[in-house]
C-alpha cells in the first residue's frame, strides 16, 4: 500500500489538531491536511483529492452530512470515515447508505482509527460493531416495512458463486484472499465483484454489505 493523504474536517480546533498529530504518526500516512468546515473541505478536495477523509458531522457553514453527499457524488474514489459523538443507528444507516465507508465514535482508540484508515483503502469499508448493529437494524426495519430500495433491485439474480463471493467480501477478505479460499484467480474474483455490483446497482462495497444484510445473506 502506497503512502496515504488524509484530510481531517472538524470545527473543534483541539480535537482536529490532536487527530492530525495522531494520524501523522501512522506509518501508512504521508500527508495530513485540515479543514474547519465542509465548505473549506470541498475546496481542498477540488484542488487535490485525498485518499481518506476523517469527517466530523456537526460543523458550521456546511455540515459533514452535506459535505459527505457532495464528495461521494463528485469524487467516488475518496474514502470517507465519519467521526461523531452520536451513534444513533438510523443516522449511521443513512450515512452508510449515501456512501460513507466507515463510522467511528470520537472517543475511539487510536488503534481503531489506524485500522479504519487501512481497511477503507484495502476493503473499501470498515465494519465495526456500531456499523454492524446499524446495518442489521436497518435491514430488519426494511424487511418489516417490505421496502425494496432501488439501489438493491437486482437486474439479474446472483449466482451461488456470486453469493459466496459476496459473503466473503462482507468478511473483509481481500480479492486475493477470496481467490485463495475458493481456488480461483484474483482476476476472476474481481470479475465476480464487478458483476455483483452491476446486478445490484451498488456504488461501492458498503452497498454490497448493506444488500447482504437486507437479503439475509449474512
What pLDDT, on the 0 to 100 scale, is given for residue 151?
45
What's the angle, vertex CA 128, arms to CA 99 and CA 177, rounded to 5? 85
Q: Which domains does the chain have, with CATH numbers?
A: 4-136 (3.40.50.2300), 149-215 (1.10.10.10)
- The predicted-structure confidence for 155-181, as pLDDT tens digits, reads as follows 678 999 999 999 998 888 889 999 999
CB 41 within 8 A of CB 67: yes
Q: What is the pLDDT of residue 92?
A: 84
Check residue 209 and give its pLDDT: 83
The per-residue pLDDT for 153 is: 53
CA distance 55 to 52: 9
The per-residue pLDDT for 144 is 61
User: For position 204, what pLDDT does the model report?
Assistant: 77
The reported pLDDT for the residue numbered 146 is 57
What are the residue ranges in the chain where pLDDT is below 70?
Answer: 1, 138-155
Residue 112 grid cell: 481503531
pTM of the model: 0.80
Interior/surface letters 166-203, b for 16+ CB within 10 angstroms, e for the rest: bebbbebbebeebbeeeebeeebbeebbebbbebbebe
Tell me what pLDDT residue 54 has: 98
pLDDT value of position 86: 78
Q: Give the whole-angstrom CA distance, residue 96 versus residue 92.
A: 6
Amino acid at each position: 500500500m502506497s503512502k496515504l493523504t488524509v484530510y481531517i474536517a472538524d470545527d473543534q480546533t483541539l480535537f482536529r489538531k490532536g487527530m492530525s498529530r495522531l494520524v501523522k504518526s501512522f506509518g501508512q500516512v504521508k500527508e495530513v491536511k485540515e479543514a474547519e468546515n465542509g465548505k473549506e473541505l470541498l475546496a481542498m478536495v477540488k484542488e487535490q483529492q485525498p485518499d481518506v477523509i476523517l469527517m466530523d458531522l456537526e460543523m458550521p457553514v456546511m455540515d459533514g452530512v452535506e459535505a459527505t453527499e457532495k464528495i461521494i457524488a463528485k469524487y467516488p474514489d475518496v474514502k470517507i470515515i465519519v467521526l461523531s459523538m452520536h451513534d444513533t443507528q438510523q443516522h449511521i444507516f443513512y450515512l452508510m447508505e449515501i456512501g460513507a465507508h466507515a463510522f467511528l465514535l470520537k472517543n475511539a482508540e487510536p488503534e481503531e482509527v489506524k485500522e479504519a484508515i487501512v481497511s477503507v483503502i484495502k476493503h473499501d469499508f470498515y465494519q465495526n460493531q456500531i456499523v454492524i448493529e446499524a446495518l442489521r437494524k436497518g435491514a430488519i426495519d426494511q424487511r418489516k416495512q417490505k421496502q425494496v430500495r432501488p439501489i438493491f433491485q437486482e437486474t439479474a439474480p446472483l449466482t451461488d458463486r456470486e453469493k459466496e463471493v459476496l459473503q466473503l467480501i462482507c468478511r473483509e477478505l481481500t480479492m486475493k484472499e477470496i481467490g485463495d479460499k475458493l481456488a480461483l484467480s484474483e482476476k476472476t474474483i474481481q470479475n465476480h465483484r464487478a458483476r455483483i455490483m452491476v446486478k445490484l446497482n451498488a456504488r461501492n462495497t458498503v452497498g454490497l454489505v448493506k444488500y447482504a444484510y437486507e437479503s439475509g445473506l449474512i
